A and B are shown apart, each in its own frame.
Chain A
Amino acid sequence: NAGVMQNPRHLVRRRGQEARLRCSPMKGHSHVYWYRQLPEEGLKFMVYLQKENIIDESGMPKERFSAEFPKEGPSILRIQQVVRGDSAAYFCASSPGGAGNSPLHFGNGTRLTVT
């Protein structure tokens, strides 16, 4: 019974490059959330998606960041033209049904380092 799978676990990018983070939700889950975590800070909400729809992207910067969850395949968080301040751990979580009290189940994150 596979949990939430994120890859890569570690990603190093130079300033100006693109970062693509992937997330496969738990089997049977159709709702995906992306969070960002910095040392000494809590998990900060970025975006909430269902299959082929962005439900809430209020936590995601308007520029350089985008997310998708296609009908087939994993959810992708894309960061264009990365800067040092983008270095963080990015966590994906899934649930079976959006805002209906179901807990989130997290992957082990992608640690992005921008050099």
Chain B
Amino acid sequence: EDQVTQSPEALRLQEGESSSLNCSYTVSGLRGLFWYRQDPGKGPEFLFTLYSAGEEKEKERLKATLTKKESFLHITAPKPEDSATYLCAVQPSNQFYFGTGTSLTVIP
């Protein structure tokens, strides 16, 4: 069965304290792995797509990497405005399977 697991469920960081979020997956054929950011009361906002193992994408303080079984979202020197829930999704077929997310809080 296709599954996506994200860890940790919640993460509190001091401003400037770098860390990584994990997304592990088991799917029968991966067409793409997607990272989203979701703020309270809003829909998920697209961040990155990764297609193959070894691929990396960067945007400001965020960097996403992909291996054959997991993806990491690295956050370098985070700021309070990076506080949000980060969602990972995989697409093996018509459907996109989402993890339950990591709730990130960055404390000033």
Contacts and interface: CB of A to CB of B under 8 A. Distances in A.
Nearest to B103: A40
B94 A103 contact: no
Contact of A48 (B49, B51, B95, B99): B95
Residue of A40, A44, A106, A107 with most partner-chain B CB within 10 A: A106
Contacts, number: 61
B31 interface: yes
B91 A109 contact: no
Interface residues of A, number: 28
Contacts of A44: 98
Interface string B80-108: 00000001010101111111110000000
Contact of B94 (A41, A91, A98, A101): A98
Interface of B: 4, 31-32, 34, 36, 41-46, 49, 51, 87, 89, 91, 93-101
In the A-B complex, the 4 residue pairs with the closest CB atoms: A106-B43, A42-B100, A43-B98, A42-B98
Interface of A: 4, 6, 33, 35, 40-45, 48, 55-56, 58-59, 91, 93, 98-101, 103-109
